[in-house]
A and B are shown apart, each in its own frame.
Chain A
Amino acid sequence: MSIQSQTVAEFAITYSRFLDAEGHPTQDLPESLKNADTLRKLYEYMVLNRTFDAKAVALQRTGKMGTYPSSAGQEAIGVGVGAAMQEGDVSVPYYRDHGAHLIRGGSIEEIYLLWGGDERGNDYATLKQDFPVAVPIASQSLHAVGVAKAIQYRKQSRAVVTFIGDGGTSEGDFYEAINLAGVWKLPVLFVINNNFWAISVPLSEQTICKTLAQKGIAAGVSGEQVDGNDVLAVTYATEQALKRIREGHGPHIIEALTYRMCDHTTADDAKRYQPPEEVESYKKEDPILRLRNYLVSQNLWDEEQEKTLYARVKQTVEQAVHAYESIPDQPPTAIFDYLYATLPHDLIEQRDILLANLGAHHE
């Protein structure tokens, strides 16, 4: 008997960042990130993300909104990925990608509406083909490959970006999705928001893989890590990945390393399991502070601009809160009206029962 071995895969996972925690450049910035307006826009949307997000938590705490998943500390991922996407691309999110929604032209009010218990929050005014938030973990990865298949079938140059958390990469749907994306060379980018916590379970109990990006290797899908608190690294990696994807090179995985600087949702208390010293150590990695330090060091930002920005963002958020709070309720029949294109006869009967009983209440 002879045993032969063959090296079928050798891989290294690259890790990239452009700014260290203090905002010092670690290498030369690519041309696309030297534009002052681009840099300021990234900064402004991260500030908007954090501000609207803090307000969402405050609304929940005061009984004006339901359970809400914060994206505090992870703004660079949504904002950076969203900034690199183009019009016509499709976002298939999980639930901590608010930054991508905002920078792609989605509204704050839509996010408030959804988490305020109103389905109209998913009826996006501008991002008509983007998927709504997926609550069941990893199930959205498969929708993304389906959207990508439709794009490929029609020979379009659009791309799909789908987001998932670190815990989500343990789900079968994630593996099924990257496998199919590889087999069919689909135009889809998988972005893993690795914030090290899946509610209370740390990454070390989720997998013994050294990286989550390498999970693509077995499916023949390339992957890389970026500093998820460096919005420049996230933006650039996404731009490069989407360029290759549009050229027909197939799927890619970006694992963005960050930290969950918040409870899982407003119904959670992370103090029960996140070590305080760990949380403390990540404070100095803050993505907003980092970019501001860099902008200031390059003379692209000053106190005056900072004050103006915060005043403007405050006003934007207040307007969104006002719009959210003043939208009239959906009519009671709305619980029936969108189940089917045409309501079947048995549901017409049930809808009538609802209306008849509402009438009785009002009397």
Chain B
Amino acid sequence: MSEITLVEAVTQALAYELAHDENVIVFGEDVGANGGVFRATEGLQKRFGTDRVLDTPLAESMIVGMAVGMAAEGLKPIAEIQFMGFIYPALDQIISHASRLRNRTRGRLSCPMVIRAPYGCGIHAPEHHSESTESILAHIPGLRVVIPSSPTRAYGLLLAAMRDPDPVIFLEPTRIYRKIKQEVPDNGVALPLDRCFLLREGTDITLVSWGAMLTETMTAAQNLQQQGINCEVIDVATIKPLDIDSIIQSVEKTGRCVIIHEAAKTCGVGAEIAAQLAEKALMSLRAPIQRVTGFDTIVPLYKMEHLYLPSVARILNAAHEVMAFE
């Protein structure tokens, strides 16, 4: 079996579900003949036809609003928003309708749908192509928000998202779209949508992250290992609903926690994790929780982007700070 990239794993999952569920319809801007600007839908229109894989006019609110109507009629719309920075015109449809239709109608109508969006910085693109505003969506009742960090998890989590009876926001980190290659068996097996993944076992610090930042986080963990500091690494993967129990379990063992995310610090998902640890595991903590995050600035254009993005060095500094507590 050959190894595939994260973006190819997305394509593989979409193809699997298109082949196995005739209610699945994939659509968005440039997803048809062009196969998506990142090629996530490469070859799907040719294979499944223009009834199943559709280019839409260029209107994000329309893409999501239409998905609401399709889902209410029992289809499984899988919509692509070309970049997370362009999802904002669709927020009204996501927040006011997709997330609420089941509750509003007391279960009569529902919105089983997936909204995929490439997200995060690191690809030398113009402004608005580097957003990681996942906490806006994590704040909204009725949604699930999922962020894969590897080809294997992209495949399994996207399958789960497409089979979920409620709306799922699936954010694909562009920085690692083609960085990691893994063998991903096309067996249609989904991963759970409400569980963290343990990437590395350790006893001294719990490093918590998701998406592309796990690259820097794992590098930091390896560096720290050479210094005799043994890190446990958790991939949160589903940031809503948050599997806080797995994180607590780890922190009860290590007593120290550093949370790493690319998004801005204030009201980031790291703040929620830290708050829940303070509520539920304060007595297990031997050091204050540290957050290594993007700054509360606009993501700079790419020449200065490296200043914004949490670096391995910043993670190491935070790790040393928490290790200073006995």
- Is there a chain B Cβ closer than 8 Å to A276's Cβ? no
- Contact A123/B74 with A139-B97, A143-B65 known, Cβ cut-off 8 Å: no
Residues of chain B lying within 8 A (CB to CB) of residue A180:
56-57, 59, 62, 66
Q: Which A residues, 49 to 67, have Cβ-Cβ distances below 8 Å to chain B? A: none
Number of B residues with CB within 8 Å of any CB on chain A: 45
Q: With a CB–CB cut-off of 8 A, which chain A residues contact B64?
A: 142
Task: Answer whether residue A176 sits at the interface, using C-beta atoms and an 8 A cutoff.
Answer: yes
Q: Which residue of A lies closest to B67 (CB)?
A: A146
Specify which chain B residues have a CB less than 8 angstroms from the CB of A145 in the assembled complex. Answer: 62, 65-66, 69
CB of A131 within 8 A of chain B? yes
A341 partner residues in chain B, CB cutoff 8 A: 102, 110, 165-166
In the complex the two chains form, is A150's CB within 8 Å of B70's CB? yes
A202 contacts chain B at the CB level, 8 A cutoff: no
Residue from the list A150, A172, A342 in contact with B74, Cβ < 8 A? A150
Which of the residues B25, B61, B73, B242 comes within 8 Å of A172, measured between beta carbons?
Answer: B61
Interface residues of A in 113-141 (CB under 8 A from B): 119-120, 122-124, 128-129, 131-132, 134, 136, 139, 141
B96 A139 Cβ-Cβ under 8 A = yes
- Judged by a CB distance under 8 angstroms, whether A339 is at the interface is yes
Check B194–A132 contact: CB distance below 8 A. Answer: no
Q: Does A28 contact B (CB under 8 A)?
A: no
A119: contacting residue among B57, B105, B141, B142, CB under 8 A: B105
- Docked-complex contact B61 and A146, CB < 8 angstroms: no
A139-B92, A150-B69, A347-B241 given. 20 additional CB < 8 A pairs? A92-B69, A119-B106, A124-B105, A131-B72, A132-B109, A141-B65, A142-B62, A146-B69, A147-B70, A149-B70, A150-B70, A153-B51, A176-B59, A176-B61, A176-B62, A179-B57, A340-B102, A340-B142, A341-B166, A345-B241
Give the most central of B25, B101, B103: most A CB within 10 Å: B103
| A122–B70 CB distance below 8 A | no
Partner of B108, one of A128, A143, A339: A128
Give the distance in Å from the alpha carbon of A150 to the alpha carbon of B65 in the complex.
13
Contact of B47 with A by CB under 8 A = no
Whether the Cβ atoms of A338 and B75 lie closer than 8 Å is no
> Contact between A149 and B97 (Cβ–Cβ < 8 Å)?
no
**A231 interface residue (CB < 8 Å to B):** no
Q: Does B271 interact with chain A (Cβ within 8 Å)?
A: no
Interface flag for B278 (CB, 8 Å): no
Establish whether residues A136 and B92, one from each chain, have CB atoms under 8 Å apart when the complex forms. yes
Cα A112 to Cα B29 in complex, Å, equals 42
Given the complex, which residues of A lie within 8 Å of B61, measured CB to CB?
142, 172-173, 176
CA gap between A151 and B70 in the complex, in Å? 9
B209 at interface by CB-CB < 8 Å: no
Pairwise interchain contact B75-A153, C-beta atoms closer than 8 A: yes
A346 at the binding interface (Cβ < 8 Å): yes
- Closest residue to A335 on the B side, CB-wise? B103
Within 97-144 of B, Cβ neighbours of A (below 8 Å) are at 97, 101-110, 141-142
In the complex, what's the smallest C-beta–C-beta distance from A255 to chain B, in angstroms? 22
A30 within 8 A of B: no
Q: How far is the CA of A132 from the CA of B62 in the complex (A)?
A: 19
A177's nearest neighbour on chain B, judged by CB, is B62
